Structure 1
Amino acid sequence: MLSLAVIAAAFASTAVGLNNGVGKLPKMGYNTFNNFGCSYDHFSAYAQVEAMVKHGLVEAGYNTILIDDCYSLKNRSAEGKLVADPEKFPYGIKNFTDSVKALGVSASAYSNAGYKTCAGHPGSYGYEKQDLETFAEWGFDYLKYDNCYIPFDNVTQENVYGRYERMANAIAEFAEETNSTPFQHSLCEWGWQQPSTWASRFGQSWRITGDIKPWWSTLAAIIDAASFTYWSTNFYGRIDMDILEVGNTGQGTPPGNLTYDEAKSHFTAWTLLKSPLFLSTDLTNVTEETIEILTNKDLLKINQDPNVGESISPFRWGINPDYTSNVTHPAQYWSGNSSYGVVFMVLNTLDTEADMFFNLTESWAIRAGRQYSVYDLWSHTDNGTAIRNISLTLPPHGVSALLLNDDGPEPEGIEPYCGVWYQCSFPNGTYYSN
């Protein structure tokens, strides 16, 4: 295990996101890739949008569809323009985007900072401005920008920073020249620590790992990465933990095998860490449990909090020493502020049932000497009053998501006088000892 205390301390301040008028809150929508891979067309993608409406997902806030790779022919036109695949989009991409907009859903584009996209279609390196013009003609307003087929160093004479800066500059120039709203820019360059130090200058979200898979081991590794990058999340800029695999049984990845408790943990972490929420489940063949998870209004309202942009953060790692990376057993105890109260997320990263425990004042957002009402963000019930601490029993890979609100001074006469008594002192300077 690698100790990262020094790295974490170096990035203790919160980054300021790119405030260019778009992307104040995390984007929510549908991404075609994990469900379909390249095997989609106008009709199959439109069916997913219809299902989004049917299942209440659009009403819940999932309001865009991202056409992720494979939408164009593998060669540009003689004028250098992207050409929509006529077999996939027989009526043209603009017809598709107009059709989904009639259902209350916008359309989002995909491209790449290299010569080709990851599936081998034309990338935007050297064509940034021209491709933005095409995306605008087609009716897109959001851009996921990937990182395959990178030109040689002696060609670009730029690092990854420079290649993503090219597209960011093109977005700003295009918006100014056309007097239009800038494209929302989602950087997909698969970084771990680095993107959180620079990507907020260029976009509204940035990937922190490689592609997600519908396995608990992958989710745990992403949560581990998030425990060292959460600090960069705020309004207009946030870490991107990749696509929601809740209920996934599609062709883009192997069939999903998450348990119900793992799916809840997955959704809880993504929402409370303020990640963009792009699902990629076949919504034409989906369970009620999946829809129940994806439309959890209590968690979604924290993800979309209009007043607090920061995500939750770990206050204790639990199994591992604090600030220690472990892709199998990431940080277990998390907390943060919201417009609705103090948020707690407790994860059981073990393969067996586990008893979990924390002192309230381990969270920076809790006031000492107060008692707190407890609301369960999954059962949607009031669960009494917490004084000093909370104990939980969680299933394997299970989660608890709680919302606490001040409920007055704690009862008098409770000893020890401090919830955590190390360095706690009487007025005469004598330490309290338990």
Structure 2
Amino acid sequence: MPDYNNIVRAMFFISLFGYARVLENGLVRTPPMGWMSWGYYMCGTDCEQNPDKCLDEKLILSVADTFYNEGYQEAGFEYIIIDDCWSEHHRDKDGRLVPDRLRFPNGMKYIADYIHSRNLKFGMYTNVADVTCMRYPGSKGHFKVDADTFAQWGVDYLKVDGCFVGEQYLNNAYIHFGGYLNKTNRPMVYSCSWPYYIEFIHNRKPDYPTISKHCNLWRNYHDVVTSWSAVKNIIQHYEDEYSGLEKYHGPGHWNDPDMLIFGTDSLTEAQSKIHISVYAMLSAPLLLSCDMTRVKGYEKNLLLNLDLMAIAQDPLGIMARPYRIDYITLWVKPRMPRKGDIYPSYSFALVNVSGQKRTITVRPSNYGLNCTDGYSVMDIFSKRFLKNITFEDSIDVTVPSEDVILYTLFPL
């Protein structure tokens, strides 16, 4: 007679191994960069009355063309992601999701193929409940068929929301859905909203050791809205919660502070520098959400600044550590290149969100720099090398109101 207890145990560990593989799918070894529809277009279904906010096939293909033709792809922007409100309100007779027939007349495989022809990557959205956050069909009870559908369509990135379900269901559903995604054998970035709902909807502490094993990135704070105050609140959250978040963050698994609000006339030029600089220092995903024709010249210069993108895409993937100095927050990030595989380079972002300019003195040796041959200091925004310093020297910096100074120090 077979030993059924051993069989059950073996099946459990096989299943567990299958789910655990989700994290190590080889994807997003640096944080994903691209564009997502929600922040600007939201549930843009009324295309006749509001054509400028229409979420449709034409829009998605236009973003692909912009990335391909205007240098964004070379800077690292590659994912184009459709968020909520893309489907019909009912599944087909076989239980499969159906794209809105008017707004996406050629279907999602057509869009995926077009995006892939540009050597870019395609992302989509679902929710683990019966319905999505905007009441379109969700994936509860359909995890396998939806995972298979997304794989057949050629999806490279899947954002999975967590509206309308309880804490225990969330803690199980994200693991199980990730398992089905893995079993499709199509590599798909798995973006989870799991910790946000646990902390801010169910008022519990997220289980980051488990979340980081099963998701490639995860939302852990409120949605950004198009305002400077929202950006400041997000930055403050990551400053306050650094010690609880940084240990689970790195290649293949990222904290996600939500989208960049460039192209929305929401920020001054200096505020835009803070927004993208802190995200780059955090090794956060850089996902735009805007009408790409409305990106201002200074915003585009920031997005295509390859020295800034090198900080954002550094292969070490270290989340910068914040230090509060009077009214300035100094973010310090060890990064490549290393000298002799011993001494890393460091990026320093001095962020001033106050209403007046501030002057501080920074001594690099207080923040881990110890190359006795010294460092060469580069200003990331001007793209100029400023001077060489010893690791014991001090640097005096004046940061204008609501602005940032961003340096990288390379070991000599």
**TM tier, shorter chain?**
0.7 to 0.9
Superposed CA deviations along residues 123-169 of structure 1, whole A, max 9, x for unmatched, are 1122111101111122212111111121x57xxxx253212112112
Q: Percent identity?
A: 27
State the secondary structure of the residue aligned to 1:405: strand
Q: Are the aligned partners of 2:378 and 2:407 in contact in 1 as well (CA < 8 Å)?
A: yes
Q: Which among 104, 121, 127 is matched to residue 142 of structure 2?
A: 127
Superposed, 1:150-165 pairs within 5 Å as 150=165, 158-165=168-175
Give a deviation string over 1:2-45, Cα, whole Å, max 9, x none: xxxxxxxxxxxxxxx92222221111111111221122111122
Q: Residues 313-351 of structure 1: CA distance to partner in whole angstroms, max 9, x if unpaired?
A: 12x2234xxxxxxxxx8x711112111311111110212
1:418 — aligned with what? none
1:262 counterpart (258, 263, 271): 271
The reply on whether 1:88 has 2:103 as its aligned counterpart is yes
1:397 maps to 402
State the distance in 2 between where 1:285 and 1:246 align: 9
1:332 corresponds to 2:329 = yes
Q: Does 1:242 align with 2:258?
A: yes
Please tell me whether the aligned partners of residues 272 and 302 of structure 1 are also in contact (alpha carbons under 8 angstroms).
yes
**What SS is found at the alignment partner of 2:164?**
coil
1:372 aligns with 2:382: no
| Counterpart check, 1:295 vs 2:295 | no
In the TM superposition, residue 117 of structure 1 has moved relative to its aligned partner by 1.1
Contact residue 52 and residue 283 of structure 1 kept, 8 A:
no
Are 1:71 and 2:86 counterparts?
yes
- The 1-side partners of 2:118 and 2:184 are apart by 28
CA distance in 1 between counterparts of 2:336 and 2:360 reads 26
Q: Give the count of matched residue pairs.
A: 362
Q: CA separation of 1:368/1:304 partners in 2, compared to 1, >3 Å: closer, same or farther?
A: closer
Shift of 1:195: 5.5
Q: Distance in 2 between matches of 1:266 and 1:42?
A: 29
In the superposition, relative to structure 1, how do residues 260 and 401 fare at CA in structure 2: closer, same or farther (>3 Å)?
same
Contact 2:283 2:314 in 1 (8 A): no
Deviation sequence 1:406-425 (CA, Å, 0-9, x none): 34xxxxxxxxxxxxxxxxxx
In terms of fraction of residues, the more helix-rich structure is 2
Distance 1:403 1:123 in 2: 45
The amino acid of 1:381's aligned partner reads R
SS of the residue 2:398 aligns to? strand
Shift of 1:261: 0.6
Give the secondary structure class of the aligned counterpart of 1:346.
strand
Instruction: Tell me whether 1:26 sits opposite 2:35 in the alignment.
Output: no
Q: Which moved more, 1:224-233 or 1:345-354?
A: 224-233
TM-score using structure 1 length: 0.79
Select which of 175, 179, 201 maps to 2:213: 201
After superposition, the C-alpha distances for 1:257-310 in whole angstroms (9 at most, x for unaligned) are 21101101111111121111111121123321111011111121222223x122
Q: 1:195 to 1:245 in 2, by over 3 A?
A: farther
| Aligned CA distance change for structure 1 residues 56 and 333 (closer, same or farther; 3 Å) | same
* C-alpha deviation, 1:118, in angstroms: 1.2
- 1:363 paired residue among 362, 367, 380: 367
* Counterpart among 58, 65, 86 of residue 43 in structure 1: 58
Q: Which runs of 5+ in 1 are unaligned?
A: 1-16, 176-180, 249-255, 320-328, 408-434
TM-score by length of 2: 0.83
Return the alpha-carbon distance in structure 2 between the equivalents of residues 214 and 390 of structure 1.
Answer: 35
Unaligned runs of 5+ in 2: 1-21, 45-54, 200-204, 338-344
Within 5 Å, give how 1:146-225 maps onto structure 2: 146-150=161-165, 158-175=168-185, 181-189=186-194, 190=196, 194=206, 196-225=208-237
The residue type equivalent to 2:222 in the other structure is G
Shift of 1:370: 5.6
Q: 2:263 touches 2:292 (CA, 8 Å); kept in 1?
A: no
> SS in structure 1 opposite 2:293?
coil
Deviation at 1:385, TM superposition (A): 2.5
Q: Which amino acid is the alignment partner of residue 355 of structure 2?
A: D
Question: CA-atom RMSD, angstroms?
Answer: 2.1
2:31, 2:271 → 1: CA distance? 22
**Given the alignment of the two structures, is residue 276 of structure 1 paired with residue 285 of structure 2, yes or no?**
yes
Cα distance in 2 for partners of 1:397, 1:25 equals 28
SS of alignment partner, residue 234 of structure 1: coil
Counterpart for residue 389 of structure 2:
386
Task: State the match for 1:349 in structure 2.
Answer: 353
* Structure 1 runs of 4+ with >4 Å offset: none
